Amino acid sequence: MGARSYFLLNDEITSTDEVFVDKSQEVSGNADLLKGVKILVIDDNPINLSVAEKTLSKFGAVSYKSYSAKDGIKQFVSNQVDIVLMDLHMPLIDGFEATKLIKQTKEFQNNPIPILAYTTYSYSEVKEAIKKYGLDGYIGKPFTQAHVVETIIASIQKKK
């Protein structure tokens, strides 16, 4: 028998065989899963932004990129988006503070949308802060395409 990996998903221990193997095949075969979904990605790392943009566009999403929290807040106000992927560790204004500032805008007040932590921090490191600042979910980097797509779809559906 081969080795099996386990991970924590929604506070339950799950085998990668149960989730990622099957779901990756489902996701990779459907280029329209995120068709028309407008996603703002805020990350100070240009490589991470490029990877996110390519992944999201592969599934039909429209993405807006911001290299800083300050620019991300401006982009949020200027573009009507469906969801935000927020890096937590950025210079000057971190992702937690940026989330707080976005939630204070009239645009967010009129149309609340999901804001997901999109970070290299482990979930256990940021779990309490995610709750405190009202982020709607977590995507760890590096990520699988299946995990990103499923998390985005679930978060958008939950807000409707």
pLDDT digits (tens, 9 = 90+) for 91-112: 999 999 999 999 999 999 999 9
pLDDT at position 2 is: 41
148 Cβ partners below 8 Å, 6+ apart?
55, 56, 139
Domains and CATH numbers, the chain: 34-159 (3.40.50.2300)
Model confidence pTM above 0.85: no
* Residue 77 pLDDT grade (very low, low, confident, very high; cuts 50, 70, 90): very high
Percent of the chain with pLDDT over 70: 81
pLDDT digits (tens, 9 = 90+) for 128-160: 999 999 999 999 888 888 889 999 999 998 876
Q: Take residue 101 and report the two structure tokens written for it.
A: 């500032």
Question: How far apart are the two ends of the chain, measured CA to CA in Å?
Answer: 43
pLDDT at position 64 is: 97
pLDDT at position 144 is: 85
The DSSP H or E segment spanning 38 is strand 38-42
pLDDT at position 40 is: 98
Of 64, 70, 67, residue with least CA distance to 40 = 64
pLDDT at position 27 is: 54
For 30, how many CA atoms within 13 A lie in the half-sphere containing its CB?
Answer: 13
pLDDT digits (tens, 9 = 90+) for 16-65: 444 444 444 455 557 788 999 999 999 999 999 999 999 999 999 999 99
